[in-house]
Amino acid sequence: MIFGITFVPFYNVCGYVPGSDPDILGMAWGRGGGRVGGVMLRRLRIKNLAVVEELEWELEKGFNALTGETGAGKSILVDAFLLLLGERGDRGLVRTGAEGCLVEGELGGAGKFKEWLEEKGVESDPEGTLVIKRQIGMAGAGRQFLNGSAVTLAVLKELGDRLVDLHGPHDHQTLLSPSAQRSALDGFAGLGKVVEDVRLAWREKKVAEETMEAFRHRMAGADGATRELIDHQVKELESAQLRLGEDEQLERDHAAAGHGRRIVELAAEVSGQLEGGEENALQNLGKVQKALVEWERLDGAARELREKNEQAVESLRELAHEAERRAEQVGLDAERLAELEARLNLLLGLQKKYGGSVESALAKLSALKIRQAELADAEGTERELGQAVERAAQRHLEASTKLGKERAKAAPKFAAEVTEQLRGLGFKQSRLEVAVQKLDVAGAEGGETIEMMFAPNPGEPPRPLRAIASSGEMSRVMLGLKTVMAERDEVPILIFDEVDANVGGETAVVVATRLRDLGRTHQVLCLTHLPAVAAVADAHFCVTKTVEKGRTFARLDRVQGEDREKELSRMLGGDGKAARAMAKELLTQGKVKAAKG
């Protein structure tokens, strides 16, 4: 078989508030049941996981029921979900005799995750296909892949949080944390824009406070003596009029000046050879030039020779003049030598004092001037920064106050609607309360904590949801919450495990109705022992366990027609005529209710 479940990123109970990032969300569910478009897990393959040797599973949109005798292996299928969601696994999950186990899911319509995948270094498929693979070996080592790229377990878990919400005796129960409950209330009340305003104001406030703190840290210890020292250092460096590369040039000039006498002698010799006396180089080239001019009159091709000679004459004259100027610079002028030594000593002193080079001294000057300007108007700057902090704090306070009022107004309504749902789910005299408690200081999520409190029986004080011991009670409470949030909730796939524990009769019918109604707006998978629940499902799957040659095997089949009647009869307590008649009646009633719905 092929497994196909429609998924949409799950944010509403994981800190997401509708409206904060609509581009990531899946498309809306159609009235006929099931999301129209959106992300869809088309295929789930399980291999060598506990008693499952190998199977593939395909579900329908809407409400899917999973049944089977106790111990048949229904929970193994949930374990497969959890592995895809990034839950930790160990070698105890590997089927005896196998080297490892595999869970693989193929999603379609995953183009919504393109940017998220690229952030994680995973190549996205142009057609929106996303393949999730999880492998666990007997050595305990596991590997996980997205579109063939190896990823960490944390990345897989982050993706899992975006894909599914599971309720039952498992750790993946997102609505148990106060932060998730706060997000659920905000989603119910449509407070996405107000929450985002609070978060933005909080970030602005933190930036303003950090800027103020950094300024005060820079100003710490800046007394009058410090300012005088900085003024002196700035004046000292500015008066030196430092230039990049000047120190290297000074060292060359000073070294040359130390050999001034010999340099003057050499310069005189160069000048004499080039243009002194009767037989110098320039005179000889003049004779050459005269001959070339006459040659050019006789042979026009000699023009280039004449021009090259002229260039040579000009170059030699320039050489002679440069030699004379350089000799004058490094000659026996004691005053010039003293100037070089004084300037060089000044630069060496500043380099030693301000970092070892002219570049570092200039950088120090730039930093000192900034510091000087800050100190000159420290009081004014601190006053402006303080005003910025006050303005940001006021904006955050106003946004938090508005959010708090909206939450306080929505909490009783939310609690009343959930309580009404719970009373139809077997909690006849139960009640849900939403405690909104003010914090001493408002934060990024507002100025209050939200805690959902549940009192299952009269006379008992309400307790936090996380304190509910019974997994059956927990699943039904979550069912009530999800029913209320169905029209606002962006979580498309809901898994309920043991939602029917300790219920029967009228309550079972109500549970079935709730699940069927949720199936119109969500993908619902329910592991159930109640025939009334299984009978109204859009698709019914049955897990069976067989023993062959001393090995246990679990298999999954979709039951329809007579096979479905037979499975419902088993759930009713037998395969007699009465049970079969009741099974047919349940299926008929389910079809009628579905048509009316």
Q: What is the 3-state secondary structure of 487-537?
A: CCCCCCEEEEECCCCCCCHHHHHHHHHHHHHHCCCCEEEEECCCHHHHHCC
Indicate whether 176 belongs to any domain. no
What is the per-residue pLDDT across 456-474, written as a single tens digit (0 to 9) for each? 888 888 888 877 756 667 7
| H helices, E strands: number in the chain | 18, 16
What is the per-residue pLDDT across 402-456, written as a single tens digit (0 to 9) for each? 999 999 999 999 999 999 988 888 788 888 999 999 999 999 999 999 999 988 8
Indicate whether 279 belongs to any domain. yes
Q: Is the pLDDT of residue 250 over 80?
A: no
Beta bridge partners of 545: 554
Query: How far apart are the C-alpha atoms of 432 and 452, rounded to whole Å?
Result: 7
* pLDDT of res. 394: 96
Q: How far apart are the first and last CA of the chain?
A: 30
Indicate whether 299 belongs to any domain. yes
Indicate whether 523 belongs to any domain. no
Indicate whether 42 belongs to any domain. no
Query: How far apart are the C-alpha atoms of 100 and 391, rounded to whole Å?
Result: 60
Give me the helix-helix angle, 334-353 and 224-240, nearest 10°. Answer: 140
- Collect all residues with Cβ–Cβ distance below 8 Å to 202 and sequence separation of at least 6: 396, 442, 443, 444
Query: How far apart are the C-alpha atoms of 587 and 302, rounded to whole Å?
Result: 116
pLDDT-above-90 percentage for the chain: 22
* pLDDT of res. 257: 60
- Say whether 325 sits in a helix, a strand or coil: helix
State the average pLDDT over residues 312-332.
75
Whether 466 and 176 have beta carbons less than 8 Å apart is answered as yes
Q: Which of 40-44, 218-222, 521-525, 527-531 has the lowest mean pLDDT?
A: 218-222
Closest of 131, 130, 129, 156 to residue 142, by C-alpha:
156
Q: Is the pLDDT of residue 10 over 50?
A: no
Most confident residue range from 21-25, 49-53, 300-304, 407-411: 407-411
Question: Count of domains in the chain?
Answer: 1
pLDDT grade for 298, boundaries at 50, 70 and 90: confident
Indicate whether 245 belongs to any domain. yes
pTM reported for the whole predicted model: 0.58
Structural domain boundaries, residue 308: 224-376
Indicate whether 317 belongs to any domain. yes
- Collect all residues with Cβ–Cβ distance below 8 Å to 244 and sequence separation of at least 6: 358, 359, 362
Q: Is the pLDDT of residue 48 over 70?
A: yes
Beta bridge partners of 45: 56, 104
Using only C-alpha atoms, what is the Rg of the chain?
A: 43
Indicate whether 240 belongs to any domain. yes
